[in-house]
Amino acid sequence: MPLTIPFDTTYLSLPDRFYSEVAAAPASAPQLIAFNRDLATELGLDIADMSDADAANIFSGNDVPSNAVPFAQVYAGHQFGGFSPRLGDGRAMHLGEIDGPAGRVDIQLKGSGPTPYSRNGDGRAWVGPVLREYLMSCAMQALDIPTTKALAAVLTGDPVLREQGRLPGAVLTRVAASHIRVGTFQYFAAQRDVEALHLLTDYTIQRHYPDATDPLQLFEMVMQKQATLVAKWMSVGFIHGVMNTDNVQIAGETIDYGPCAFMDVYHPDTVFSSIDRQGRYAYSNQGPITHWNLAQLATSLVQILPDTDKAIADFTAILDRFPALFEDEWAKAFAPKLGLAPSDETTLLAKDLLALMAEKGADFTNTFSTLDETQTLYPDWHARWRAAAPDDALWQKTNPQIIPRTHKIEQAIQAATHGDFDPFHEMLDAVKSPFTPNAAYAQPPKEAEKVHQTFCGT
Ligand code: AMP
Ligand code: MG
């Protein structure tokens, strides 16, 4: 039975210059890889009678629900520091918004074909990045870190051409609080389209920050969300990889899982993305880069305030608080990992442990999940930690045992490329239970299994 999705798409009430209506490219043989029934239920979708074939048709874009008006959003963004005035959904299409029991969300197909914003790309995705995003976003959710969510993954039956050759095409269905990015504001700011900036600001306040009474308050709330989010990433060893301003979501969810990774061996300078040659988005640079990205949002918002000099002074005063705010969020995220309350001494203990881990090349996740074993490796640190009287139950329940390790993701993708989805499903089960012991997924990679870079692979 075809699924009726009760779309109620408010973004379409914004002027035409915010988006383009689009159609999905047909998929020749859609086949369901995964469908997140829990999420569908959470969203209030009526899936009881939906077959896998129905799901494959809908979530490949073949069978667009009759009440959907598919569209692609326009945005701009600083990519590795350089400004691109016009990006936009180049390989994604919004089916629409639903206002369900879990609140208002966007439902978007990623990899469903070209849009007016595709520039040189084909608008398609291959199965690798689709499965990576599926695994990563499910893991984030299980770790209680704000993230966009994967609703479905579907093979299209059509190969896509990438550097590695012909690869199976796939579509990911993504659910997000919204897809408004710092880059959405930058798009209109770059054109000095003050009217659109006003509309976007009002829309964002209404949808995400109803308590904000002006752009400065909105900005302050976005800054708080970003500081919390990035501190949480760091507390699980996550490296986003492409923190361009178009990949910074205003609602504060992790978005656009490209060449991202959870670190195995801890080192603050770790970079995974093959295109990040300067280490701009290295693990330990994620706080400072968030500050920089927020400055770009502030620069855009200045335009809608009447007194420019005052606006610049006011935004600057808020932005200047970011480093202290981030330190604070970092301390709050790391303290329970040690089983301690946040304090200057706890922060020092955490930083000293990380320095020792970097020196020894320790595994990030496993060091924290077996903190009581640090006695053999770092006896002096262990004695200081014990003297601080940590709560063992607290650090044990805070530190995950299972994260989606890069080599396991690569193995699952390799198998999927050859039609075997068992490793993907097995891994999905493992990352959904990060606090359950699971030897096969807790092991760091063997030398031959190590993956040193992840590629955009779009
Ligand atoms: P990302 O690296 O995912 O943040 O993407 C940056 C920009 O490139 C976005 O505007 C995407 O829509 C666009 N893009 C990425 N991959 C493709 C593709 N295969 N076809 C068209 N546009 C793409
Ligand atoms: Mg992006």
Could you tell me the residue ranges of all domains in the chain? 10-176, 181-399
Put simply, whether the predicted model's pTM sits higher than 0.95 gets the answer yes
| 457 assigned ligand-binding residue | no
94: left (phi over 0), alpha (psi -120 to 50) or beta: beta
pLDDT value of residue 119? 84
Q: Is 88 in the pocket of ligand 1 (CB under 6 A)?
A: yes
pLDDT value of residue 437? 96
pLDDT in tens, 204-249: 999 999 999 999 999 999 999 999 999 999 999 999 999 999 999 9
Residue nearest to atom 12 of ligand 1 (CA): 90
pLDDT value of residue 70? 98
Burial of 40 (0-12, 13-18, 19+ CB in 10 A): buried
Q: Is 242 in the pocket of ligand 1 (CB under 6 A)?
A: yes
pLDDT value of residue 452? 72
pLDDT value of residue 225? 98
Ligand with minimal distance to 259 CA: 1
Q: Is 247 in the pocket of ligand 1 (CB under 6 A)?
A: yes
Q: Do residues 385 and 379 lie in contact, with contact meaning Cβ atoms separated by under 8 Å?
A: no
pLDDT value of residue 453? 65
| 237 assigned ligand-binding residue | no
* Residues of the chain predicted below pLDDT 70: 1-2, 453-458
Q: Do residues 434 and 400 lie in contact, with contact meaning Cβ atoms separated by under 8 Å?
A: yes
Cα angle 98, 256, 78 (rounded to 5 degrees) comes to 115
pLDDT in tens, 180-189: 999 999 999 9
Ligand with minimal distance to 241 CA: 1
Q: Report the separation in Å between the CA atom of 91 and the middle of ligand 1, taken as the mean of its atom positions.
A: 6
Rounded Cα distance, 109 and 96, in Å:
10
Q: Report the separation in Å between the CA atom of 296 and the middle of ligand 1, taken as the mean of its atom positions.
A: 20
Residues with CB under 5 A from ligand 2 (ion): 247, 256
pLDDT value of residue 312? 98
pLDDT value of residue 458? 57
Residue nearest to atom 6 of ligand 1 (CA): 87
Identify whether 246 is a catalytic site residue.
yes
Q: Is 121 in the pocket of ligand 1 (CB under 6 A)?
A: yes
Rounded Cα distance, 127 and 129, in Å:
6
Residue nearest to atom 11 of ligand 1 (CA): 90
pLDDT value of residue 307? 98
Helices (H), 303-421: 308-319, 322-334, 344-360, 364-369, 374-377, 379-387, 392-398, 406-417
Q: Report the separation in Å between the CA atom of 399 and the middle of ligand 1, taken as the mean of its atom positions.
A: 34
pLDDT value of residue 169? 98
CA nearest 61: which of 152, 137, 180? Answer: 152
Ligand 1: which atom is nearest the Cα of residue 125? 19
Enumerate helices (H) and strands (E) in the chain, giving the number of each.
17, 12
Q: Is 162 in the pocket of ligand 1 (CB under 6 A)?
A: no
pLDDT value of residue 98? 96
- Catalytic choice (63, 158, 246, 264): 246
Residue type, 422: D
pLDDT value of residue 272? 84
Q: Is 273 in the pocket of ligand 1 (CB under 6 A)?
A: no
Rounded Cα distance, 164 and 66, in Å:
37
pLDDT value of residue 428? 98
| 120 assigned ligand-binding residue | no
pLDDT value of residue 194? 98
Residue nearest to atom 8 of ligand 1 (CA): 90
